[in-house]
Structure 1
Amino acid sequence: MKQAVTRFLSAVAMSALIVPAVAQAPTAPTAPSAAALPWLFVGSDIPVNTAWRFGTLASGLRYAVRQNKYPAGTLAIRVRIDAGALMEREDEKGYAHLIEHMTFRGTKSVPDGEGIRTWQRLGAQFGTDTNAFTTLSQTLYQLDLPKNDPASLDTALTLLSEMVTSANLDPKLVEIERQVVTAERALRQTPFAKRVQDVSKAVLLAGTRAAAADIAGTDATLNAASAERLRAFYNLWYRPERATVVIVGDADPATLEAAIRRHFGDWVGRGPAPTEPNYGKPETPKATSAVIADPQAPSQLMLNWVSQHDERPDTLADEASDLTRLVAVQVLSQRIARKARDGGSFLSGGAGYSEQRHVSDNMLVVTAPKAGQWRQALSETYGILADAVATLPSPDEIDQVAATIEAGLQAAAAGGATVQSAPLANQLVGAVDTGEVVAEPSFMLKLFDSQRKNLTPENVGAAMRTLIQSNARALLLSPRPVEGGNAAFAAALVEARATKAAARAEEKRVSLDDLGRPGAPGKILWTKVIPDLDVTRVKFDNGVELDLKRTGFEQAGVIVVAQAGDGLTALDPTKPSLLWTAPAIVQGGVGPLDFGGLERATAGKRIGLQFGASERSFSWSGGTTAAQLVEQLRLLDAAIREPRFDSNAFQRVRDGFVQNYDTIFNNPGSVFNAFASQPIHNGDPRFAMPTRAQVAAVTPDAYRAFWQPLFASGARKVLIIGDIDKSAAIEAARQTFGAAVTKPALRQPPSHLALKPPARLATPISFTHRGDPDQLLIANVWPTTGSLKDLPQMRALNVAAQIIQTRLYDRFRESEGGTYTPGVGSNQSETFPDYGVLIVNSQIKAERQADFERATREITQALAKDGPSADELARAIAPIASGNDRQRKLNMYWAQMLQGDLDDPRYVELIRTGVTGYQQVTAEAVRTAAQRWLARDPALRVIVKGAPPRAP
């Protein structure tokens, strides 16, 4: 079945599900003739989405364009080629992906390397704004162009059209890029991940072409990938009738259509068109279950029901049945998650449903068994499934899920006029790839309303039974050896299928009123305005500050952030922290409501609850609407006043951390992220990764004792950003946070802010990973300083980082093929006044360590000596400035930036000059900053090496 509408429904329901079903579809409108239908809607009775303009060139190339003014002055461009790993022969594995890389190595009129430089001059960041990826079914090129003038559009389409029509498959460049894709494969596909992939394919994809497909390729096929063989694949599959061009943005659709015709109109396929592959169909494998036991494996139990995908066009009847299936899966998912929270034999769990064109559909139930309890977890899971088959779902369960879906649809419909161009372009391309159509949020809401009456216990229960009554295929991942291995697991699976239905606990009805109400509304002490930022500041008599910004970026969308405590600066710099327990804060619930109670109390409402910890504060946040602002504020206020510190939630977080600890060592990057933070922060224990034993030793009392004092003073600042009425928002805050009882904020000792960059060490700090032993991660760290001490210097260092990144890319990736992702970042704190670092890192083959370090040293020292060229400077500044300009047109940007100290004029200037400050950076400023901070060898070198093989 298809799911154009229910794909969206599932997203707003906060799941990755899509679903088949049983409900009666609404009467379809009289369909126009096939000839009159746009190509995306042929065969469907879903009304045509008139916001899009569709067309087909004489060559067969299809296009879709749409005018959209968010963000203003920008364009989102996508070029899809209907060719991926499924189109490869056995001896061509990895070719589609390698060709994707080669298209960036030059075309008939653009020399190698010049394309990326052109993107930069247009203000697009390679890897962020312009990129490409290959899947089983497609190769997609995407560009988010920060300019919409005709010259920029023509330049962009010249590059993109030549990439797919006249790529330069030079033999020397093929040899270099072969090394790059091999490095990418090593980065993304660890030995353990490859093992899981191979076992999963055998169990889940038997009978399909996808079972043998390999996007990354093999050593044998990649080594045999000559320029001639790649050219043959390119000519066969890169054809206009297999291409789709999508452009969304701030331009007249007629202008966009004309540009597509101008740049793609003369494209003619080379040779005869290919025969569509036989994609196969799901078959029952010889073994329907498997065990993967490995120290790096997470504890995970997966039950899968595989079925053949319906390739027919998307219809209203499909959408109606899919909605019922979505609700069925969501109800089942909530039951499984509830069992974990109530002390089951698994720490977490849920259910999902996915569909993949040319492959299969998959119903999935997944749990994370507690250590040594996979048998019990299997039995308890089947007890839940048996109940789902034997007994209809309750109206309350269905209503909770349906209300959540409806609230999301209402919010999307209200904000439909300000959806950004990139998501719209991605939605259209996604519909092409999955064989669906695109519909506006308002239509989705109407469709839901027409089907709501069919979401009965009988229909939802029937959908649930259809999903899970047959025998499941199963995978067990375990960090410990499983006695008896595959045979024991297969036998346990047969036994578990006979488990009797588990008793279903009734849940009492709750509401946000159970959280209690604030006291008398507060008084306003003062109001101030920052005119050029359009920010209003209000101070209440209990000490809470309210900062508001009314925007039109996201129609009907509002973000609320409440800050309490002082974040990392509140922690003792001589002691390890328990920040790793932060996920338990929200999972524990609020006041009298556990997490399940919160879900029920907020069903049908557009309010949220997230918790975060930063250098400067702890924060509770949620997205809402102006109409529900008071309820959102009440929830955040209660979360600070009445933290629950639930011991069950904490123990699930702790135990999951303990039993999955070794997954950290799967690859160099995860080891670096986990363990390098402390040395990069000069050994400060606040940034230390705890050992497994330290995690296991933490008790619920210790968890509570750590967190409770950190926000015991109450909220100190509230932010409201979005589509609001300022007066109403101030009154809502006055009645909630303004009425709260607070305590004076603690003044932190100077030592808590005295964080320094890493001291100079003569020898590198070394860690080990247990992935591919040939892979190594190296990071060179230079100390700098805090950002607010010198804003021009901070921006010069950020520009320097961009230039170093480009030079490393040109030299070590583009010329030598030594790495896939050289990374450079300048991190200067706004909170710790003396802390800043510039880090250059990459994952490479161990044998290339000296080459990478030499390249890094020569590049940084050359920049310190001579500075950048005028073109380098412009290409570095343009993507940063355009990216910042686009960010400033998002509510989330202001929700982040306004969390800082608005009483500090330096910080206000940082916000004020986020674009203009970069446009004023000079070549001399970059050279001076590099000379001051980067001329010497790095102060710290961190290396993550492959561990020696384990003893047999």
Structure 2
Amino acid sequence: MKAPAPRRLVALLALAGALSAALPAGAAPESAMKGAVNTEAGQLAVRQEKLTLANGFEVILVEDHRLPLVAFNLWVHAGPRNEAKGQTGFAHLFEHLMFAGSKHIPRGEFDKFVDAAGGTDSNGSTNFDRTNYFFTLPSNQLELGLWLKADMLGYMIDEVDSVSLANQQDVVRNERRQSFENRPYGIVEEAMYQALYPEGHPYRAAVIGSHADIQGIQLKDVKDFARTYYRPNNATLVLAGDFDPKQAKALVQKYFGSLKAGAKVPEVKVAMPEITKERRLVVTDRIELSRLNLAWHTPPMFAAGDAELDVAAHVLGGGKASRLYGLLVRDKQLAQSVQVGQDSQSLSSIFNIEIVARPGASLDEIEKLVDAEIAKLATTPPTEAELGQARATIQTQLLQRMEKVTSLADLINHYNQMAGDPGFVGKDLARYGQLGQANVSATVTQWLKKDHRVVVQAKPGEQVLPPEVATPPAPTKAAKGERESLNAAEAWRAKPPGAAKAKALTLPAAQSFTLANGLTVIYSPKPGLPLVSAALVVRAGQGANPADKPGLAGFTAAMLPEGTKTRSAQQIAEAAAVLGATLNAQAGSEEARIDFSGLKASAKEGLGLLADLALNPAFAAPEIERQKAQRLAALAQMREQAPLLANAVGNRVTYGEGHPLSTNALGTEASIKAVDGAALRAFWQAHYRPERAALVVAGDLTETELRALIEPLFGAWKGEGAAAAAAPLPASRPIAARTVVVDKPGAPQTALAVVSPGPFAAAPDAAAINVMNAALGGLFTSRINNQLREVKGYTYGIHSGYTMGRERGQFGIRGSVRTDVTGPALVDMWKEIEGMRAKPMGAAELGRVRNAQLLSLPGLFDTNLAVVAGYSGNWSAGRPLDAITELPKKVGAVTAATALKAAQQHLDPAQLIVVAVGDKAKIVPQLEAIGRKPEVRDAEGKPLP
């Protein structure tokens, strides 16, 4: 993948909350769904049309006019299953090279075209069976999207040379360091796969490959792989969205029809591995909490037994209502988390049980308890209620994938390759409706045998890695004769096509009303699919913590799903599971939220659960003690993750001792242990009140339907006791630039958080700030990310952003760089910051980054969840409702001069604090060499002697 920075999403949420393209009043959306959705009977279908060009290129058209967007989803049917021996990671490296330029699109320009057109969700990914490339554009850019995709597939190899190969080898190796070696349990997962699969099996290595194999790939290998697999007869494009099928077919023929087919792709024939004796291994890693993995080989995707094991995974560990969660997390309190899944692939699947232990808990004891539950499921079928919960969750998740054209397109491509039928969705769902309780037990008996599995115990200790693979000096110039072509030159392809007439950018006007008790209700009707999302937002975030009780806001929110006056924690979990819904509570900096998301049919019950959590918390003593242990373990887990640690220490230094936002949101070990029921109830009584709350709802509900649902649930809510006095947060004090190091011995990367106080949400120049930041570090194509990733190969990704709240503001640049280039990376970063402040952007750059925010609005906010999240943030930040409708005008009015002024006023190098979490022995000399004398602090941000 292309190292996703938050891109435009964070900036726009910070500016004006969730935005979604809206239909004119009274217009009914034309949807890809036909007929009524009947999930129980499996009667779910997507209207699609598949055609194959003469060269073998497959195209699947999914016409859907709900939003003025088109998703472009290209699958190349090649992944690690197609790699040669000694070339692990090849398919993934090739994915990166596909973005490095093509015959008609210079290196670095591909993503700029997407940005300038208002594209969203632009990326690629590789799994064991395929590689995909996707983006979503406004519907008037249909031809541009096809031009880009065709050049990637047909003409990328024309521009690949030793320079671009060396650069992407650096990037991918940085990704491996970040995702495996500097991430807790990363090497543990790799060890598990190596124990499951024998030498020579294409699934044995991680998708990303080894350092040695990545570095060893030669330019000839790249050309051979392209010649074999990156041909039109081994690729499928799904177009999903707002287009005319006749026009789309003609354009597909124009751009893809002349690409030459390759030879028939070699067939992959690999026997399914068989384990006949349990394999056990212990892996030590730089972790705080031990972890247990139990893994079995299971039937391939869509084969007999695959659906049964999917259901078994839900029953055993599919959420808080599952058996293992109830036993190990809630009852025995031996586990911090439980995850169970049937990871389905084409050659064989893996059933994996993953349990992170609490401090001091025995992995052997946990394993015995898990074995007992598996044995019980094998002999006693799941209850009808458990089977219903699994079906409901699967149904809801499938519908949510169809809500967004980006994920809908990928789902259709998935079915096309894995099931051989792009219209397989109904049959897929029917698999679960047809199986019975006894089928699940019989399948568990057949496949989950103790002597057929791999057991991995991950324990704290030394991280053992293969010998370091040197990075040779990168070539600065391609050698003569390095480039070649697979397809004939066609001069007309050199000119990018123009856009069709754009449809009017219509953003939703928020609808709001207030109940008699003062509760604000904000809702956004979104017909099309029978889904509803909601959030109750309360001004009870971290900023409301008493000075002597850091973490209390988060603790209070976490307790809400753990029992009410009429329901236990288990009953709440089971009630949500029956609905196939999600129900969560959490606290942020300025607000706390309870979120619900599910089917329209379950909206009454789901909102009823949400109301019960908010209005009737029990704060039972046993649950408080369990939550204490959970939060103490989470505090330990945070120390494992360098990026989280860098952010936490950055907050402490930025806000200063005593400020409510300076302490970790979890609190401290002492404050967690000191919490009792009286403190929790007092905080809840003071802050969870209707006049300080908003209920935000989006989905397939009218105002009449919504009022009928919420009046009985929230109308009588009065709040208890005295309300907390409104006390503004302390002002952020002026700070001086400094550098802070937190030691993480042996770390292969340095996690950086470069932070300073920033403007609040009410800043009149917020639009100019965000446009400026998009150029600096907010976009993938930004100056900082381009320099540190694409030019220097120092990082997998660096991004910057402004967080603008009602009473808090912060600027930050975040990412991880290779340990040995920590100093040079900061030097380059400072050059880009100074450059941003020195002179105005040129017209081309300004137009691109401004359009990247303005034209992308429909694509950024095209789901109920996105709408609810944005409107919740908008209300929390104190913005007026018309901020949404005003946003296009404000963004469109940003000029080079106003963006420069924003940089000069809100991007002050003299206030930037650098927090570097990494190997002190290696990074301190680099920092001193660039004139930075670092302070060394501990994992809580406290100065060390």
Query: Shorter chain as normaliser: what TM range?
Result: 0.7 to 0.9
How many residues matched? 825
1:76 Cα offset (Å): 0.7
Query: Within 5 Å, which residues of 2 pair with 1:383-394?
Result: 383-393=372-382
Evaluate the alpha carbon distance shift between residue 261 and residue 646 of structure 1 in structure 2; reply closer, same or farther with a 3 A threshold: farther
Measure, in 2, the Cα distance between the counterparts of 1:183 and 1:407: 36
2:537 aligned partner, one-letter code:
Q
TM-score, normalised by the number of residues in structure 1: 0.79
1:67 Cα offset (Å): 0.7
**1:867 aligns to 2:847 (yes or no):** no
2:165 aligned partner: 174
Q: Which one of the candidate residues 397, 406, 419 is aligned to 1:422? A: 406
Measure, in 1, the Cα distance between the counterparts of 2:155 and 2:661: 48
1:109 aligned partner: 104
2:608 aligned partner: 634
| Greater Rg over alpha carbons, structure | 1
**1:358 aligns to 2:347 (yes or no):** yes
**1:95 aligns to 2:86 (yes or no):** no
1:121 Cα offset (Å): 1.7
Query: Within 5 Å, which residues of 2 pair with 1:439-588?
Result: 439=423, 451=434, 455-456=436-437, 458-479=438-459, 534-552=509-527, 554-572=528-546, 575-581=549-555, 584-588=558-562
Evaluate the alpha carbon distance shift between residue 370 and residue 593 of structure 1 in structure 2; reply closer, same or farther with a 3 A threshold: farther
1:402 aligned partner: 388
**1:299 aligns to 2:276 (yes or no):** no
1:50 Cα offset (Å): 6.9
**1:196 aligns to 2:188 (yes or no):** yes
**1:920 aligns to 2:916 (yes or no):** no
Q: Which one of the candidate residues 86, 103, 124 is aligned to 2:81? A: 86
2:776 aligned partner: 804
Is 186-195 or 131-140 further displaced after alignment? Answer: 186-195
Measure, in 1, the Cα distance between the counterparts of 2:404 and 2:720: 42
Evaluate the alpha carbon distance shift between residue 573 and residue 698 of structure 1 in structure 2; reply closer, same or farther with a 3 A threshold: closer
Conserved? CA contact 2:753–2:812, under 8 Å: yes
Q: Which one of the candidate residues 876, 879, 904 is aligned to 1:931? A: 904
Conserved? CA contact 1:64–1:246, under 8 Å: yes
**1:735 aligns to 2:712 (yes or no):** yes
Query: Within 5 Å, which residues of 2 pair with 1:239-250?
Result: 239-250=231-242
Measure, in 2, the Cα distance between the counterparts of 1:745 and 1:720: 28
Evaluate the alpha carbon distance shift between residue 135 and residue 211 of structure 1 in structure 2; reply closer, same or farther with a 3 A threshold: closer
Conserved? CA contact 2:737–2:911, under 8 Å: no
2:280 aligned partner, one-letter code:
S
1:646-705: CA deviations, max 9, x gaps?
444444443344456554344532322343333233443444236874377345547735
Conserved? CA contact 1:798–1:826, under 8 Å: yes
Conserved? CA contact 2:861–2:867, under 8 Å: yes
Measure, in 1, the Cα distance between the counterparts of 2:848 and 2:49: 34
1:473 aligned partner, one-letter code:
R
1:55 Cα offset (Å): 1.9
Q: Helix, strand or coil: the match of 2:129?
A: coil
Measure, in 2, the Cα distance between the counterparts of 1:193 and 1:886: 34
1:622 Cα offset (Å): 1.4
Query: Within 5 Å, which residues of 2 pair with 1:145-164?
Result: 145-162=137-154
Query: Within 5 Å, which residues of 2 pair with 1:660-675?
Result: 661-675=635-649
Measure, in 2, the Cα distance between the counterparts of 1:54 and 1:239: 18
Measure, in 2, the Cα distance between the counterparts of 1:299 and 1:171: 43
2:226 aligned partner: 234
Conserved? CA contact 2:293–2:355, under 8 Å: yes
Measure, in 2, the Cα distance between the counterparts of 1:461 and 1:744: 52
1:111 aligned partner, one-letter code:
P
1:16-59: CA deviations, max 9, x gaps?
xxxxxxxxxxxxxxxxxxxxxxxxxxxxxx99967111122222
Conserved? CA contact 1:60–1:241, under 8 Å: yes
Q: Helix, strand or coil: the match of 1:378?
A: helix
Cα RMSD, aligned residues only: 3.6
1:236-272: CA deviations, max 9, x gaps?
32222221222111112232232222222222256x5
Evaluate the alpha carbon distance shift between residue 723 and residue 277 of structure 1 in structure 2; reply closer, same or farther with a 3 A threshold: closer
Evaluate the alpha carbon distance shift between residue 913 and residue 285 of structure 1 in structure 2; reply closer, same or farther with a 3 A threshold: farther
Percent pairwise identity: 19
1:113 Cα offset (Å): 1.9
1:32 aligned partner: none
Evaluate the alpha carbon distance shift between residue 809 and residue 343 of structure 1 in structure 2; reply closer, same or farther with a 3 A threshold: closer
Conserved? CA contact 1:641–1:714, under 8 Å: no
Q: Helix, strand or coil: the match of 1:760?
A: coil
Conserved? CA contact 1:78–1:140, under 8 Å: yes
Measure, in 1, the Cα distance between the counterparts of 2:508 and 2:825: 44
Evaluate the alpha carbon distance shift between residue 906 and residue 409 of structure 1 in structure 2; reply closer, same or farther with a 3 A threshold: closer
Measure, in 1, the Cα distance between the counterparts of 2:64 and 2:507: 27
1:210 aligned partner: 202
1:823 Cα offset (Å): 0.9
Measure, in 1, the Cα distance between the counterparts of 2:595 and 2:844: 42
1:729 Cα offset (Å): 2.3
Evaluate the alpha carbon distance shift between residue 437 and residue 773 of structure 1 in structure 2; reply closer, same or farther with a 3 A threshold: same
Conserved? CA contact 2:75–2:235, under 8 Å: yes
2:176 aligned partner: 185
2:550 aligned partner, one-letter code:
P
Q: Which one of the candidate residues 875, 878, 886 is aligned to 2:851? A: 878
Evaluate the alpha carbon distance shift between residue 142 and residue 285 of structure 1 in structure 2; reply closer, same or farther with a 3 A threshold: farther
Measure, in 1, the Cα distance between the counterparts of 2:866 and 2:448: 43
1:514 aligned partner: none
TM-score, normalised by the number of residues in structure 2: 0.79
Structure having greater relative contact order (Cα 8 Å, sep ≥ 6): 2
1:200 Cα offset (Å): 0.7
**1:814 aligns to 2:795 (yes or no):** no
2:357 aligned partner, one-letter code:
A
**1:382 aligns to 2:371 (yes or no):** yes
1:170 Cα offset (Å): 1.7
Conserved? CA contact 1:124–1:878, under 8 Å: no
1:187 aligned partner, one-letter code:
Q
Measure, in 2, the Cα distance between the counterparts of 1:908 and 1:708: 27
**1:368 aligns to 2:340 (yes or no):** no
Q: Helix, strand or coil: the match of 1:303?
A: strand
1:186 Cα offset (Å): 1.5
Measure, in 2, the Cα distance between the counterparts of 1:774 and 1:448: 44
Measure, in 2, the Cα distance between the counterparts of 1:48 and 1:728: 25
Measure, in 1, the Cα distance between the counterparts of 2:261 and 2:201: 26
Conserved? CA contact 1:713–1:745, under 8 Å: no
Evaluate the alpha carbon distance shift between residue 583 and residue 225 of structure 1 in structure 2; reply closer, same or farther with a 3 A threshold: farther
Q: Which ranges of structure 1 fall in alignment gaps of 5 or more residues?
A: 1-45, 483-530
Measure, in 1, the Cα distance between the counterparts of 2:362 and 2:177: 33
2:919 aligned partner: 946
Q: Helix, strand or coil: the match of 1:590?
A: coil
Query: Within 5 Å, which residues of 2 pair with 1:299-318?
Result: 299-307=290-298, 309-310=299-300, 318=304
Conserved? CA contact 1:209–1:278, under 8 Å: no
1:377 aligned partner, one-letter code:
I
Q: Which one of the candidate residues 618, 624, 649 is aligned to 1:644? A: 618
1:338 aligned partner: 326
1:505 aligned partner: none
2:242 aligned partner, one-letter code:
D
Measure, in 1, the Cα distance between the counterparts of 2:278 and 2:431: 42
Measure, in 1, the Cα distance between the counterparts of 2:534 and 2:203: 46
1:65-114: CA deviations, max 9, x gaps?
211123x2211112212222232223323332222222222211222222
Measure, in 2, the Cα distance between the counterparts of 1:707 and 1:942: 33
1:720 aligned partner, one-letter code:
V
1:325-349: CA deviations, max 9, x gaps?
4444433442222222223644553
Q: Helix, strand or coil: the match of 1:546?
A: strand
Measure, in 2, the Cα distance between the counterparts of 1:157 and 1:860: 33
